[in-house]
Chains A and B, each alone.
Chain A
Amino acid sequence: MNERFTTFVRIINAFGVRVGTIYTRLFSIDEIAASAVLKWFWGAMLLFFFLTFDRWISSGLTTVETAKRGAAVCWPFFQECYQWYFLDLLPSAYTQSIFYMALYGILLLIVFLMWRGNWALAHALTALLFVWKLFVIFGLSYLIAGPYDYYHLFLTAVLLFVPLKEYFLKLSFVFFYFMSVTVKFDSTWILGTYFSNLNLGLPIFPDVLIPFFTNAVIFMQVIGCWFLLSKRIILQRIALAYFLTFHLYSGIFVYYVYPTIALPPLLILFGPLYRHHTIPVSLKSVGGWTIILLISFFQLLGFITPSDRRLSLEGNRYGMFMFEANHQCIATVTTHSNIIYGEEGVTIPRAGSECNRFYCTTRRSITHTEQGTVAETTYESPYAWNRCDPYEWWSKLHLRCAINSTIEQVSFRFDHSINGGPFYRIADVPNICDVDYTPFKHNEWLIMPPEAEIVGYPAKNVYQ
């Protein structure tokens, strides 16, 4: 009996070793084991997983409660994503907290396994985290991610899955700069009107210098970033110094999250441990080049829709969409219900009242009619970084129509200003429950200038 058990354990062990060897070879994990740069980089990616889950543990965007309220916003290509929600937030339930604390435990376990040199298992667990993040961002919620999360996913994919990891991490990082600059080729950055229309302007520098700095940023992202890969150390260090300064400066606007996906990788890949690589073109490099092509494709997806995506936001969440325009918007939603509810009257919050959301309610009126109740609510967003996305409204209002049988009609008006320009009435729909939203083509109910009516002009706003 003892002998049989020992043989069984030996067979399982041998099978495990064989699987581990195949797994290690498949994902070139030996490269990580042999490279200080890759180990540090892995740590940087784990740090960003920590930051991600720290945001998500308390987020209501993917909870069952949000789905029940009809407030879930899914991607246009998967509009029933809320049916997959299974977690809930305090005070409704502990499930989301339990889930993300389990992921916290996995993060700690990965660090322990790395310390013990058990790279294959650490890799497998990191891959699990990667798959979860990918699923949440592209499956469960349209709103939960920022471009920094896309950076994180691509970089983690290169680290985990392709050979020649160090080279392709460096190339991917530089390529992000080169691709993300494609959203800067307009007045937002060339004239610098994004920043000149902020109440506080650019930090430290006067408004008159804005176009110098914004065009310098464009130049460095088109040309200068490639010197990060240079074999001439002086040029490489100048490029490094510039981008270090750039990301530190940008943190004045974006706080800690974005610099944390940019600065540690920048220092690890291009700092003290930097070495020049020749361009690999071999069978082994196919995986890496595929990811580079995917980054290009993902960025260019955002340009497919033939409308000004800064105003319509059609295709905006594809690719790196940082600082593409300074947004302000006013949304007016009029709900016609067949029941009587609420107290008739008009409520206008006092000027300067606290506002904890992207959209602040600035007016609410309730009228009782013979047919039921007409509730009109006006929301305003003065925050430059809030994308003023009509699709977000379409999605929430459509869901509201679907789950609330007392609603007969929801009219929607949307006024949008970018970079201090006029407020254009880009949507004026009598019943948004009747209109569809189709991805990758222009939706006719969104009206663009010059057909869109100018309804006013904005004051200078704030970044956030």
Chain B
Amino acid sequence: MEPASSTKFLILQSLSGNPPAQLTGLQTFMAEHLHSLIAFWHALWLMTAFVLLWLTLVAWKQSKK
């Protein structure tokens, strides 16, 4: 979808070699543990998916009785 008209473009300091954007203290700390955090969220998501699947199977078994 096209943006609204009259949008002004910004000059990017793209090739100036300036350092990358700064992270806050908390972001820096979390960045050091990023792999663990990613693994945590993946694990939580998978566990939730399994629990939901189990609940659905329980419902199916109960409906067969």
Contact = CB atoms under 8 A, between A and B. Distances in A.
A211 to B, nearest CB: 5
Contacts of B10: 382, 459, 461-462
Nearest to A56: B1
B41 A185 contact: yes
Interface residues of B, number: 42
| Most-contacted residue by chain A among B27, B42, B59 (CB, 10 A) | B27
B30 A362 contact: no
Interface string B13-52: 1111111110111110011001001100110110011001
Nearest to B21: A420
Nearest to A145: B1
A193 B23 contact: yes
Contacts of B6: 354, 356
B35 to A, nearest CB: 10
A208 B63 CA distance: 50
B41 A222 contact: yes
Given A207-B24, A456-B16, A281 B56 contact: yes
Nearest to B41: A185
Contacts of B38: 185-186, 190
A282 B14 CA distance: 58
Interface in A229-249: none
A360 B8 CA distance: 9
A146 B24 contact: no
A358 B63 contact: no
Interface in A434-464: 455-462, 464
Interface string A180-206: 011011110011110011000000000
A190 B41 contact: yes
A384 B45 CA distance: 27
A380 interface: yes
A366 B49 CA distance: 57
Given A415-B14, A462-B10, A146 B45 contact: no
Contacts of B25: 208
Contacts of B31: 187, 191
B12 A328 contact: yes
A223 B41 CA distance: 11
A119 interface: no
Contacts of B17: 456-457
Contacts of B44: 222-223
A380 B9 contact: yes
B26 to A, nearest CB: 5
A383 interface: yes
B20 A464 contact: no
A357 B48 CA distance: 42
Given A146-B1, A353-B9, A461-B10, A196 B24 contact: yes
A355 interface: yes
Interface string A251-279: 00000000000000000000000000011
A191 B33 CA distance: 10
Contacts of B1: 55, 144, 146
B21 A208 contact: no
B27 A191 contact: yes
Contacts of A190: 30, 34, 37-38, 41
Nearest to B26: A211
Contact of B27 (A196, A460, A462): A196
B39 to A, nearest CB: 9
A328 to B, nearest CB: 7
Contact of A356 (B2, B19, B27, B37): B2
Contacts of A345: none
B38 to A, nearest CB: 5
Contacts of B45: 178, 181-182, 185, 222
Contacts of A382: 9-10, 12
Interface in A355-401: 355-358, 360, 362, 380, 382-383
5 contacts: A184-B41, A208-B24, A208-B25, A226-B48, A356-B7
What 9 pairs between A and B have smallest CB-CB spacing?
A420-B21, A360-B9, A355-B9, A279-B59, A281-B60, A456-B15, A382-B10, A459-B13, A456-B14
Interface of A: 55, 59, 144, 146, 178, 181-182, 184-187, 190-193, 196-197, 207-208, 210-211, 218, 222-223, 226, 278-282, 328, 330, 351-358, 360, 362, 380, 382-383, 415, 417, 420-423, 455-462, 464
